[in-house]
Each structure stands twice: as C-alpha cells, then as structure tokens.
Homo-oligomer: A and B are copies of this chain.
C-alpha cells in the first residue's frame, strides 16, 4: 500500500500546541498516513512514579493497564486535533489495530499484526491514530505493554504489515547523531545508517530508536526515517541499503559513540568450562540488559564480568541465586554504579591491537580511569566513573569521529 507511517514521540506531543502542530504536519502529507503515538511527554514518568509511590512491586498486569492509558489519551487527543482542521481521523487501541503479543506484561513482543481495520480506515480516507506501546496477549486477551520505547516497534510493525513506503519516527532531534547531540557539540547527524549499525548504537545506549524496533525493521526490511517533528529537513534513513558490503565488514570504521549510566558491574568467580554455557544462557535473557564484558577461559575455571542496569539488579539476583544453588559459580561481587561508553563501528576485533591503545590513551590523557575494556567486532566498550562519562564520550568522539576521515593510527603500537 502506498502509504507512510508517522510515529510521534512523547516530546512531540507534550501539550496542546504540539499536538496541533503534529496534526498540521499530518495534514500536509500527500500520501495516506497511519499515525502511531507515544504518551504525551512526561505522562509515563508520572504514572511510573505513582506506581512506585504505591508499591515496590506493582503487579505487572496492573502496571500495564496504568501505563497504557497514556497512549490512549494522546491518540484520542491527536484525533480531535485532526478533526478540528478538517482531517477525518479515528483513534485505535492496540486491540483495534490487531496487534497481538506474546503476553509478557511490561516487556511484550509483537507476534502478529492483523492490520485489516487500520487498512479499511485508510481506504475510507480517514487517518488511523494508533496507540503505540501496547498489544493484546494472544492467549489471555489481556492488554500488555511492549518494552519501553515500544511505540517505535508498533510503528515499524504496522509499516511491515501494511507494506508502507517508509516508517517515519518523528522526534525532538534531527536524526541519529554520531554521539548524543545534547552533550557533544561536535556530534554530526548521519544521513544513512544500516540496521546493524543502528542496532548496535541502540543496544549501547543511543535512545533515539529503541533496539527491538530496529530488530523488527531489519527482519522485515522496513525503511525507517528518523527525523524532527518540528522541521521539514531530512533526518537519518535506517535501511538495508546501507549495510556494509561483506568485504568492508573487516575494514576499520567508526559509526558513533553511545553511552549509558546507572550500570552495575558484577563478577562471578569459579565458573567451570562445563557450567559456562548454563551461565551465559541465563544471562542472555533479553529483558535483563546484561552486557558481558569478559568471559572466563574456555578450558579452565575462571571469572565472568558483566554490566547490568541498576534497575534490573533484583531480577539478576534472583537468577544468580538459582545458578549458585546449582553450583554454576562460587562467588559473586557487585560494584558500581558505573558509566559505560561504547565506540560503535566495524572491524574492531580485527584491528584490536591498533584501536585499543588509542582508546586507552585518549581516556588517560583526560584523566579518566578505565575499569573494564571489552572488544567485539562491532564495538569497544569501557566502564568508568559515572561523572566521567560525558568527558569520555566527547574525547572518544573527537579522536574517532570528529574528523570526517579516520584518524591516522599508530601502526607500530604494541598490543595493550
């Protein structure tokens, strides 16, 4: 279907004047539009605060029902604003839009989209305004919310189901930047990005697009256009067309610097080679945001280190208690909170001997103590004190990304 999905984030729907602006933007689009909305800015935080005022452990079903009201309200409000300027519009709940999930409250995955009612609405010349971030559990019929930032996933899933030309993610920044532009003045907007690079940035802390939505877009080849809701300028296209060719994947390329704060470090000692796969499988639970920094050697007893969001500590502790009961490790040490800074790109494992010293020297020369350094093919991550994070981002960005071309690397440098 020749149409466009437009997803408006909370900051683009923060008050009546912003809702009216979004409505005017929708009215100027030539193609048929399907709109997906987040909750009005601040609403979700207000709800989360109310819930945590009431209880330390809100029942997941009730938390979903509480949080989902935010998107329902903004969808109805935007539909009203569209009517006011003469655009026929109709709000759709996740149920109305045929979005079915796996039923995990608070962290549901979309498993099916039956967009027939949305399509009929478009065919009637009406703009469907769909509540993001929610869907109906396939088995129980209960309302479930997607992982946070899930309105992006709703938009991408509808784009895939309707075979839309593109999925516009309209937000308060101009696109995807080489670092967070609110903190790094030298950050540059990227015009194009591959799904793989975007996924790596998102999982390393770039908040402009939620990781599950990138994965969904990649799996269904949905062209995503991240752009500002306030201006008409082009933003960043995330598509399959901009993936690195196979022969380029080992070439050293820096894409961006992402960062996260509020991380805890955990070290598990005494892991035997026989138990390693059990431990790594448990840590791989996608709801836990565990990022393994260092694995034990595969042939003898050793330690495994990882970071995890402080908010997930309790869940990880429950999981570790089970692993310890099964003698999967002997000791567990927590520390933090720390910050994590990740240089995202390609060829890091192959060029490890050249890049690693450059990262360490850059940070050392700005007096930043590095606690951990982990290298994968697509990412080098370090942990440091939380108050050093923005300095680390700024100088890693300057070293690896501020110049339009890759800096000359000290080839003769010893492996660190």
Contacts and interface: CB of A to CB of B under 8 A. Distances in A.
A167 to B, nearest CB: 24
Find the residue from A16, A76, A90 having the highest chain B CB count within 10 A. A76
A54 interface: yes
A62 B91 contact: yes
Contact of A58 (B20, B51, B65, B80): B80
A323 interface: no
Contacts of A73: 47, 66, 69
Contacts of A55: 80-81, 83-84
Given A54-B19, A54-B84, A69-B72, A79 B62 contact: yes
A51 B77 CA distance: 7
Contacts of A57: 83-84
Given A16-B53, A58-B80, A62-B79, 15 more contacts: A51-B77, A54-B77, A54-B84, A55-B84, A58-B83, A61-B90, A62-B90, A62-B91, A65-B75, A66-B72, A66-B77, A68-B72, A69-B69, A69-B72, A69-B76
A328 to B, nearest CB: 33
A271 B19 CA distance: 48
Nearest to A83: B59
A63 interface: yes
A50 interface: yes
Interface in A1-45: 16, 19-20
A95 to B, nearest CB: 10
B80 A59 contact: yes
A48 to B, nearest CB: 12
Given A16-B54, A19-B54, A54-B19, A62 B83 contact: yes
A57 B57 CA distance: 42
A82 to B, nearest CB: 9
A16 B51 CA distance: 8
A32 B65 CA distance: 24
B80 A51 contact: yes
Interface in A102-137: none
Find the residue from A51, A56, A73 having the highest chain B CB count within 10 A. A73
A79 B50 contact: no
Contacts of A63: 76, 80
A97 B388 CA distance: 53
Q: Which 3 A-B pairs have the closest CB atoms?
A: A16-B53, A55-B84, A66-B76
Contacts of A69: 69-70, 72-73, 76
15 contacts: A16-B50, A16-B54, A55-B80, A55-B83, A55-B84, A57-B84, A59-B79, A59-B83, A62-B83, A63-B76, A65-B91, A66-B80, A68-B72, A69-B70, A69-B72
